[in-house]
Structure 1
Amino acid sequence: MREVKIETTLEVYEDISELPKAIQKLMGSAIDARNNAYAPYSKFNVGAAILLDNGEVVIGNNQENACFPSGLCAERTAIYYAGARFPNANILKLAITASSQNQVTDKPIPPCGACRQSIAEYEIKQDQPIEIYFMGAKGKVVKSSSLANLLPLLFESSVL
């Protein structure tokens, strides 16, 4: 038996004002998307904005359903729309923001496991890392230079 240590490096910004202007704008698009989320059951709104290498920005937000598994997260809504609308474009950056309608959300909220796997699929497909920025409704913003930092033991197609 041997022990394997997995480490990751993330950047933490005190708030959105510390981000580069282009990322502030992208996060602003994610906030706008978050404000239009359909979350009557969880009362937890999430917005995502993707910057593609063709300059397009694609947004998504969570869309809930009374049959809970039928809903879709903001990140996957945006990623799948980007894939459908711009199938040959690479995803450069992804901004995510989440807020609860029941309490103040002031800590960074990362993508869920299903969204991490979907982001991984596109990172592998394009053979290029995706920068991911995530935050709550306010406060600190975390940057990961690649999905691999958030999901280091990746399940991918080479094992199929």
Structure 2
Amino acid sequence: MKKQLNINYESFESYNELNDIEQKLFNVAKQARKKAYAPYSHFLVGSAVLLENGEIIAGNNQENAAYPSGLCAERTAIYWASANYPKQKILKIFVVGAPQDEMKNSPVPPCGACRQSILEYETKQSQNIEIYFASVSGEIFKTYSIKDLLPFNFDVSFL
């Protein structure tokens, strides 16, 4: 039997269509991107995490010559947030990524490892996390849960 999956997402043509908090998160992620350490890939990613207490945590990718030792922007931000605000729920994550020369303008989604990490926090807090992803300009995508980006997911219920 063949089946089909559908995901829910929104598309914004530009930054100007975002509300005030979304614009703020975009700007924080875009600025964090500029501080990324990416001497090998030259692909810079910044993220901004909004906690339920209103705190915004920034993160960026950190590469390492031993590639598996690096860390993505999303995980630097959510791990820092959890370490410093362990009881706060994550409401939104904004990701802005592009090559160092900023020539790419299509939305850059979280990688597989980041999707799995976001799923862990969404499961832990029993509340969806909105995920926005973009490049430095152009279209922006929004999902209402990581499950839209990771439909066949593995979580604690399998253990």
Aligned to 1:122: 121
CA distance in 2 between partners of 1:6 and 1:124 (Å): 21
Count of residue pairs brought into register by the alignment:
159
CA distance in 2 between partners of 1:5 and 1:13 (Å): 25
| TM-aligned CA deviation for residue 102 of structure 1 | 4.6
- Measured on the aligned residues, the alpha-carbon RMSD in Å equals 0.9
| TM-aligned CA deviation for residue 101 of structure 1 | 1.8
Question: Matched residue of 1:83: which SS?
Answer: helix
Aligned to 1:99: 98
Q: Is the 8 A contact 2:122 2:129 kept in 1?
A: yes
Aligned to 2:26: 27
| TM-aligned CA deviation for residue 4 of structure 1 | 2.5
- Would you say 1:80 and 2:79 are equivalent positions? yes
Where do 1:7-156 residues align within 5 Å? 7-102=6-101, 104-156=103-155
**Which amino acid counterpart does residue 124 of structure 1 have in structure 2?**
T
Where do 1:1-12 residues align within 5 Å? 2-12=1-11
**Which amino acid counterpart does residue 101 of structure 1 have in structure 2?**
Q
TM-score by length of 2: 0.97
Question: Matched residue of 1:129: which SS?
Answer: coil
Change (3 A) 1:103 1:93: closer
Question: Matched residue of 2:29: which SS?
Answer: helix
CA distance in 1 between partners of 2:131 and 2:10 (Å): 10
TM-score by length of 1: 0.97
CA distance in 2 between partners of 1:9 and 1:56 (Å): 27
CA distance in 2 between partners of 1:50 and 1:115 (Å): 13
Deviations 1:24-73 (A, max 9, x none): 01110001100100000000000000000011111100000111110000
Structure 1 gap ranges (5+):
none
Instruction: Tell me which stretches of 4 or more aligned residues in structure 1 moved more than 3 Å.
Output: none
Deviations 1:56-99 (A, max 9, x none): 11110000011111000000000100110000000000000001
